[in-house]
């Protein structure tokens, strides 16, 4: 109890002393204020960026390996077609499945350029045809109905599964059992996709997760009518696909399997590499590594800014000590020990830095609200974005307060009283 009273007395004295030189106290903490503000904003923005990337990668599934067709020049197309047909084919999928034992599940997707007749105006749905395994591989959730089945593909049933946004914008005709006209064909809605885990289209280069809210999924095979005579039916050897998804049995096999798959793909497409292989797990590892680098970078910035801020505090505290020699002498005469003087001056520098930290965090919070209007990803104000700068500023304050406080204890009371 007595200790608490003493502590509050020290706080009171410190606040009184600091208030005597209000302007000087405020100026002395500017370094800390801006340091803390910068650290907080960087942490929050960096954290938001990382979460954004991780979310996209997770949506792709860490057990999956993607092979995506990419655009190549016309010349290369000619070379490729001479040898083995252009682009990704059903055959690639079959060969990989038989050549790589760790592939547990395969799925394929083909993007179609098909117009929706009488579709929603405000959004442009992306029409794709997929294998029945696609939903499982991507862990797509259904709000209602069912996913595309094997039977749909085999019988070329004119059915579709649509995204939430499309369903909503179509109103009553967008419900289960409704009919959507694509080109000259009528597709019955058999399923509506649930909330997609990602609100918007991927921005990170290379990842480009799809926005399922605005997609219409048809059974792979039915695009025969839509894409013209050039495409053959599902299972046909020359079938040109947009994306192959290979689900590996366990995350720890993904990297090894990816090497095998790369080899198979190279042997199947020796001349032109008209595809890219995306390994979400690898991206995840890269992102984590980048995050570690970012953290290191932050710690460096934080140390520098707090060093500067701390030196500012030390400077002012040294001036305070030499100005208040008489007070120190009086206190020593009435019984203060050196440790009491030390605590008093440390309390003052701790209050200064803590105040700097609090002001810095408030300004940082405001800066983030303003920033969130200008940057596309969400700014995550985590607990560590608040605690970390506050903690290091207080530690810096105490550290840089030690020397002036020590100087205060070294004041000779007899000399001080005589001055």
Q: Do 216 and 127 form a contact (C-beta atoms < 8 A)?
A: yes
* Contact residue for another protein among 67, 254, 336, 392 (CB under 8 A): 336
133 or 409: whose CB is closer to another protein?
409
Tokens 């100005």 correspond to: 323
327 or 348: whose CB is closer to another protein?
327
Q: Tell me the C-alpha distance between 346 and 323, whole Å.
A: 16
293 or 414: whose CB is closer to another protein?
414
Q: What is the DSSP letter of 200?
A: S
Q: What three-state secondary structure class fits 261? A: helix
**Minimal distance in Å, beta carbon 26 to another protein?**
18
- What character string, x for contact with another protein (CB under 8 A) and - otherwise, covers 11-30? -----xx--x----------
What Cα–Cα distance (Å) separates residue 391 from each residue in 29, 43, 307, 384, 388? Answer: 15, 14, 14, 10, 5
Q: Tell me the C-alpha distance between 365 and 386, whole Å.
A: 9
Determine how β-strand 185-193 pairs with β-strand 159-162: parallel
- What character string, x for contact with another protein (CB under 8 A) and - otherwise, covers 305-334? ---------------------xx-xxxxxx
6 or 203: whose CB is closer to another protein?
6
- For 253-305, strand residue ranges (E) read 275-278
52 or 327: whose CB is closer to another protein?
327
What Cα–Cα distance (Å) separates residue 194 from each residue in 147, 189, 215? Answer: 11, 14, 12
Q: What angle do CA 406, 407, 410 make, to 5 degrees?
A: 90
152 or 327: whose CB is closer to another protein?
327
User: Which range, of 2-10, 58-66, 107-115, 187-195, touches another protein by CB under 8 A?
Assistant: 2-10
**Minimal distance in Å, beta carbon 5 to another protein?**
4
User: Which range, of 248-256, 291-299, 335-343, 399-407, touches another protein by CB under 8 A?
Assistant: 335-343
* Contact residue for another protein among 335, 370, 373, 374 (CB under 8 A): 335
Give the binding site for another protein (CB under 8 A): 1-2, 5-6, 9-10, 16-17, 20, 326-327, 329-340, 413-414, 417
């Amino acid at each position: 109890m007595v200790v608490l009273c003493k502590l509050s007395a020290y706080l009171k004295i410190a606040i009184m002393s600091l208030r005597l030189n209000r302007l000087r106290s405020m100026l002395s903490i500017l370094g800390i204020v801006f340091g803390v503000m910068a650290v907080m904003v960087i942490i929050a923005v960096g954290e938001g960026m990382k979460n954004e990337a991780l979310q996209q990668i997770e949506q792709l599934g860490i057990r999956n390996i993607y092979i995506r067709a990419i655009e190549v020049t016309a010349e290369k197309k000619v070379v490729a077609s001479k040898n083995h047909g252009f682009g990704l084919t059903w055959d690639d999928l079959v060969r990989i499945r038989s050549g790589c034992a760790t592939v547990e599940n395969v799925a394929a997707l083909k993007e179609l350029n098909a117009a929706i007749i009488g579709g929603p105006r405000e959004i442009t749905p992306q029409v794709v045809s997929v294998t029945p395994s696609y939903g499982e591989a991507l862990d797509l959730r259904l709000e209602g109905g069912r996913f595309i089945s094997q039977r749909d593909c085999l019988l070329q049933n004119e059915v579709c599964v649509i995204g939430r946004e499309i369903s909503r914008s179509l109103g009553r005709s967008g419900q289960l059992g409704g009919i959507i006209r694509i080109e000259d064909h009528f597709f019955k809605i058999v399923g509506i996709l649930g909330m997609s885990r990602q609100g918007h289209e991927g921005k990170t280069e290379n990842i480009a997760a799809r926005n399922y809210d605005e997609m219409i999924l048809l059974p792979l095979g039915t695009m025969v009518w839509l894409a013209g005579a050039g495409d053959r039916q599902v299972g046909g050897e020359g079938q040109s696909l947009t994306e192959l998804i290979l689900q590996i049995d366990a995350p720890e096999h993904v990297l090894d399997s990816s090497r095998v798959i790369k080899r198979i793909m190279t042997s199947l497409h020796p001349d032109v590499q008209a595809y890219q292989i995306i390994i979400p797990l690898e991206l995840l590892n890269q992102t984590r590594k980048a995050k570690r680098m970012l953290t290191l970078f932050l710690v460096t910035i934080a140390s520098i800014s707090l060093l500067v801020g701390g030196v500012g505090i030390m400077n002012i505290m040294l001036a305070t000590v030499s100005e208040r020699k008489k007070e120190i002498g009086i206190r020593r005469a009435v019984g203060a020990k050196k440790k009491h003087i030390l605590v008093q001056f440390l309390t003052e520098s701790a209050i200064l830095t803590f105040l700097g930290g609090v002001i810095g965090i408030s300004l940082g919070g405001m800066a983030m609200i303003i920033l969130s209007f200008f940057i596309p990803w969400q700014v995550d104000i985590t607990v560590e974005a608040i605690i970390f700068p506050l903690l290091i500023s207080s530690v810096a304050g105490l550290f840089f307060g030690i020397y002036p406080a020590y100087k205060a204890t070294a004041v000779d009371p007899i000399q001080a009283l005589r001055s």
